Amino acid sequence: MSHAIVWFRADLRLADNPALAAALEAGHAVIPVYVLDEETAGIRAFGTAARWWLRQSLQALDAALRSRGSRLVLRRGPAEQVIDELVTQCQADAVYWNRLYDPASRDRDARLKQSLLARGVTAHSFKASLLTEPWEARTKAGLPFKVFTPFWRACRAQADPGRPLDAPTRLPRPAGSLAGASIASLLHQETPSDLAAHWTPGEASAVDRLASFLDDDLEAYHRQRDIPAVDATSRLSPHLAFGELSPRQIWRAVTARRPSPGGEKFLAEIGWREFSYNLLFHVGGLDRHSMRAEFDDLPWRDQPELIDAWKHGRTGYPIVDAGMRQLLATGWMHNRVRMITASFLIKHLLVDWRIGERWFWNRLVDADPANNPVGWQWVAGSGADAAPFFRIFNPVLQGEKFDPAGAYVKRWLPELAHLPPNSTHRPWTADPPLSQQRYPQPIVDHASARQRALDAFAGLRRRPLRSP
Ligand code: FAD
């Protein structure tokens, strides 16, 4: 029987996995492999929270493979070299993988494909983590999209993505055994993590999460998704980031239901993910360069103490602090609050968006190479189809609008639990006043910080958007 390596990357699932399905369809005995590649130049190493997720997710994948008569082979190192060596060791005739879209992974995969072909080993790559490949969505002029709405309209007009593939029931295993690293040695966990109280990584849990979200929250999604006190969003983001679930599975499950405003809005959010990957593919370097180059000329301020207050939820603005504490405690933050906290760092503190992007990258379980930098650049105003820089969120009014009863703030800031609704988002007005030890005074004054940001922006000269 011929042997094939199936190289798992951001697709840690057995169902709707085109690379795995194609290897089996071709009649190969399959060697499932995961390579922790933190050595290839340009590949972003996982942050702390994502490493925790990855470890659990690999365990879940390995268990699922074992229950089908196989097991996951784990390796660490530059993937090009590692896969090349594995091909020799197990005399593989073919390597199968699902595509990634960041420039460093694409370059690496293209080089690997060439070198495998030169050895007479075939390499097969597949679409698995997007509904539409970035090169499939083009404007009438044949260019990549810069604006979300026409992009999503074009994606929606394309053919239905089809039925998701079933997970295999058995995996023929090659003769002989391959030694590999253990998950524990690959991803050493220094400290016991609190994240386990909030999340269950793995494909089975992703499928359950989707089902319960669709049953309980889809109907009201469009009305409630902006209210951080209500668990009204899917929380599928880390499952999607690690590929435990495919967007096609989501698409199918949503469109199989009665059309509804909630379902349409939810699919549009999946569309924002597609748009982010479209930008990652066509522009690249999103975590390093502002898409609007003039933003790299902003007079960013380097203020370690203020940045530290932001990171640890001690800014004196409750909605900002609640979000940052939710992030520290759970590895996740509600989308509305991500926008508010990011805006506060960039505009109120005038801190380079890349500093915030890196903090999120390190702390989010759903840290995503496309969504995270695009989210930050959207808030900064430096990205494609982004919020304009002069739109500066007032953290008090945002809190009062989206958390009117203060339930979200009080959940994450127990020191404010006793405040009445009219002072929850303005604790400096509390009577009697709060001591500074209990909760800090605002680290900046909203009106003057806002003016400083507007002045900084007024000094910028518009330059064209980096491609697309
Ligand atoms: P739902 O509302 O249930 O949405 C379903 C899915 O759609 C999400 O899981 C996600 O894959 C996608 N999605 C939703 N909103 C967006 C969006 N605005 N942009 C792109 N995709 C979206 N999302 C990440 O997955 N990883 C990140 O690292 C990340 N960083 C962000 C940083 C900032 C500053 C901002 C403003 C947004 C960021 N987002 C990121 C987007 C968004 O906040 C999260 O996807 C969402 O909060 C995840 O929760 P959910 O799964 O319950 O979302």
CATH number at residue 383: 1.10.579.10
Q: Do residues 10 and 106 make contact, with C-beta atoms less than 8 angstroms apart?
A: no
Residue from 53, 57, 46, 58 nearest 362 by CA: 46
Residue closest via CA to ligand 1's atom 3 equals: 234
Residue closest via CA to ligand 1's atom 43 equals: 335
In a domain, 360, yes or no: yes
Name the burial class of residue 234, with classes exposed (0-12), middle (13-18) and buried (19+) by CB atoms within 10 angstroms of its CB. Answer: buried
Q: Are residues 275 and 387 in the same domain?
A: no
DSSP strand pairing (94-98 vs 3-8):
parallel
Helical axes 304-311 vs 353-363, angle rounded to 10°: 40
In a domain, 193, yes or no: no
Ligand 1 center to residue 378 CA distance, Å?
A: 12
Q: Are residues 62 and 114 in the same domain?
A: yes
Residue closest via CA to ligand 1's atom 38 equals: 375
CA 361, 364, 368 angle in degrees (round to 5)? Answer: 60
For ligand 1, residues with CB inside 6 Å are 225, 233-237, 240-241, 269-270, 272-273, 276, 335, 338-339, 342, 360, 364, 366-368, 371-372, 375-376, 379
Q: Which two tokens stand for residue 327?
A: 């992030």
Mutate to test the pocket of ligand 1, among 319, 371, 402 (most ligand atoms within 8 A of CB): 371
Q: Do residues 78 and 37 make contact, with C-beta atoms less than 8 angstroms apart?
A: yes
Mutate to test the pocket of ligand 1, among 210, 236, 237 (most ligand atoms within 8 A of CB): 237
Atom nearest to 237 CA in ligand 1:
9
Q: Which of 224, 257, 282 is the last residue of a domain?
A: 282
How confident is the prediction along the chain (468 residues), in pLDDT tens digits per residue?
Answer: 899 999 999 999 999 999 999 999 999 999 999 999 999 999 999 999 999 999 999 999 999 999 999 999 999 999 999 999 999 999 999 999 999 999 999 999 999 999 999 999 999 999 999 999 999 999 999 999 999 999 999 999 987 899 999 999 999 877 666 766 788 788 877 665 789 999 999 999 999 999 999 999 999 999 999 999 999 999 999 999 999 999 999 999 999 999 999 999 999 999 999 999 999 999 999 999 999 999 988 999 999 999 999 999 999 999 999 999 999 999 999 999 999 999 999 999 999 999 999 999 999 999 999 999 999 999 999 998 888 888 899 999 999 999 999 999 999 999 999 999 999 999 999 999 999 889 999 999 999 999 999 999 888 877 777 766
Atom nearest to 366 CA in ligand 1:
26
Q: Do residues 364 and 327 make contact, with C-beta atoms less than 8 angstroms apart?
A: yes
Residue closest via CA to ligand 1's atom 42 equals: 335
For residue 301, the enclosing domain spans 293-458
What's the total number of domains in the chain? 3
Would you name the residues annotated as active-site residues? 269, 272, 300, 335, 353, 376
Residue closest via CA to ligand 1's atom 21 equals: 273
In a domain, 178, yes or no: no
Residue from 159, 227, 238 nearest 198 by CA: 238
Ligand 1 center to residue 184 CA distance, Å?
A: 29
Q: Which residues pair with 36 in a beta bridge?
A: 76
Question: Order of strands across the sheet with 29-36?
Answer: 73-76, 29-36, 3-8, 94-98, 122-126
Q: Are residues 310 and 340 in the same domain?
A: yes
Instruction: Give the integer Cα–Cα distance in Å for 258 and 85.
Output: 50
Q: Which of 256, 282, 308 is the last residue of a domain?
A: 282
In a domain, 176, yes or no: no
